[in-house]
A = this chain, B = another copy of it.
Amino acid sequence: MARPLELDPDRLFPADPTTRAIARRLYDPIASLPIVSPHGHTDPHWFADNGCWTDATSLLLVPDHYVFRMLYSQGVDLDTLAIPRIDGPPKTDPREAWRVFAQHYTLFRGTPSRMWLDHVFAEVFGFDVALEAETADHYYDIITEKLATDAYRPRALFDRFNIDFLATTEGPQDDLAPHHRIHQSGWPGRVVTTYRPDAVIDVEHEGFGAAMERFAEWTGEDVFSWSGYLAAHRKRRADFRAAGATATDHGHITAATANLSSTDAEALFARIVGGSWTPADAELFRAQMLTEMAAMSVEDGMTMQIHPGVARNHNAGLFASHGRDKGADIPMRTDYVGALRPMLDRFGNERDLTVILFTLDESTYARELAPLAGHYPCLRLGPPWWFHDSPEGMRRFREMTTETAGFCNTVGFNDDTRAFLSIPARHDVARRSDCAFLARLVAEGRMAEWEAAEVALDLTSRLVRTAYHVDTPLKPAKAA
């Protein structure tokens, strides 16, 4: 007989009865607030086309590297899971892949993926039995069946999930047509883009050459001259703002910034596009471009997000066979205090600039990030990211940043996900985790309960709406 699937209504709340009761009272009024998802990787075509997803495997397993990396670590090969290779998808029956996943579902005990997936299974699909080998086909059939109905089309789920604002992520080389179609469709869902120019900034990225060609085409600028290149960024930023973007995003290897003279910057750029660059040049150019992007954000008001510190594609063999985003990205020790100084020397005291810092190196929370954000007017701390977007990760983030940076220098939650169906689950984990933390402060006499209730609302709504300009349209860009 199948095991039941039940979500504990008090999940993630501390066990102590006094604290738990406080957490529950803090959570109740925010539990159903609209979702603001200011940073993520959903596909705008979903909302533009509003087509049906086809099956559980292609929707829930194949795009979720959190999930298949765990299976891979335990010896399950990626072909078995229907994960596409560079030269195309394997000939794996998606139902068979789903069965393998179900057989291994116990591997996820204690992980956030397990919480998110169970939430999706129970709340989105209505399952009341747990996923395991015996129920694999039942799950696969029901999910396939439901996905074929109108209630499970992207826009219907967007509405059902009570999403108020959803940002996707595109590059300057990308076509914004899906966003234009969404906006022209009359559908009121607010799906916007985000300007992520990594592919035209990181010359070590395998797609740099192609991205630069597209960048030139979209803008009509001579992107191989320094002035044309900067002008092209300004044009694309304007295009993105017209498609609703309120923010940029920068996924650099390190947090290094630079502040070169324009002569030196131009000479560096010449080496980059001329192909005579060294790895140090590539790093310096990324560093300089963070400062250039900050300069443009001062002009146009776009909030800037910096996501540094990952060794991408760490598994050389897997990168060769399967390409990027296959669960082989590994965080690295990351410096902020020295790295950000050149940019902060120029723009640190700007009150109208918002730079949101993320990290995968938790040792920087209390040591560097909270002290930086607790001083510089332009800096804010992004929520726990990626491997740390989890109950324990969120607890550590609050415990290590709040005392120095306060709540006020944080920006609410980012789900940062490709897994659209998991968005409510992820926001719910964040809301519960924040209430658990606040409840402890209240129970320990460190904050009044009415104050904690205000903070819970700040963390769920006010801070994110402010940091990402959700409610206040950006003004036209100032001249450079």
Contacts and interface: CB of A to CB of B under 8 A. Distances in A.
Interface of A: 3, 7-8, 10-16, 18-19, 69-70, 72-75, 106-112, 115, 311, 314-318, 327-333, 335, 337-338, 341, 344-345, 348-349, 351, 360-363, 366-368, 370-377, 379, 387-388, 390-393, 396, 399-400, 402-409, 440-441, 443-448, 451, 454-455
Contacts of A402: 110-111, 392
Contacts of A387: 366-367, 370-371, 403-404
Given A330-B337, A368-B331, A406 B451 contact: no
B393 A366 contact: yes
A330 B349 CA distance: 15
A318 B349 contact: yes
Contact of A455 (B3, B14, B110, B372): B110
Number of copies: 3
Nearest to A12: B444
Contacts of A373: 73
A15 B16 contact: yes
A374 B110 contact: no
A412 to B, nearest CB: 15
Given A327-B375, A330-B375, A362-B363, A11 B446 contact: yes
A79 B100 CA distance: 62
Contacts of A406: 70, 107-111
Given A110-B447, A360-B367, 17 more contacts: A3-B448, A11-B446, A14-B444, A15-B19, A15-B444, A70-B374, A72-B375, A72-B377, A73-B373, A73-B377, A73-B405, A107-B408, A109-B407, A110-B407, A110-B441, A111-B406, A391-B446
Nearest to A455: B109
A372 B110 contact: no
Contacts of A108: 406
A366 B351 contact: no
Contact of A363 (B311, B363, B409): B363
A356 B376 CA distance: 31
Contacts of A393: 366, 403
A387 B314 CA distance: 30
Nearest to A9: B445
A16 B16 CA distance: 6
Nearest to A65: B375
A311 B331 contact: no
Contacts of A363: 333, 361-363, 367
A378 to B, nearest CB: 9
B74 A408 contact: yes
14 contacts: A7-B445, A10-B445, A70-B374, A73-B374, A74-B409, A112-B403, A314-B344, A314-B375, A315-B349, A316-B345, A330-B375, A361-B363, A371-B387, A396-B399
Nearest to A442: B15
Contacts of A444: 10-15, 391
Contacts of A12: 444-446
* 6 smallest beta-carbon distances between A and B, as pairs: A8-B445, A11-B445, A15-B443, A390-B403, A110-B402, A363-B363
